[in-house]
Amino acid sequence: MAGPETPKLMVDVIIPSEEGVVLVRRGGDPFEGEWALPGGFVEVGETVEAAAVRETAEETGLAVEISRLVGVYSDPERDPRGHNVSVAFLARVVGGDLVAASDAAEVSVLDPDSVELAFDHRRIVADAMF
């Protein structure tokens, strides 16, 4: 017998620089072709911090260190795929080279106000930059 359905856990990572923040152009649905923060689903047995570091490396080629928690985003409508709760972190680059990988079609450092952001990522960026 299956247990109750619960929200899925995700991470999003804000990596600021003088030019803006690291963003990935989504290679798949939802929001295919739109810009988003690096991130993704937490795997079973993984901490949210480890997931943030892993997803960032997978999508951007960058090694990061978590600086601080930005917030938890739990609006059931934030993701068209279903109720996905995201733990967002501010991080700094400690190595690697910026290169699109995994499910990212493109990766760039952009002014987040200059592009449309997928999901609720504009709010997450705003919360990170206070």
Angle 55-59-62 from CA coordinates, rounded to 5°: 85
d(CA 99, CA 58): 9
DSSP 113: G
d(CA 79, CA 110): 23
Q: Enter the tokens of residue 25.
A: 């152009």
Would you call 65 a catalytic residue per the annotation?
no
Active-site entry in 19, 32, 106, 116: 106
Active site residues: 106
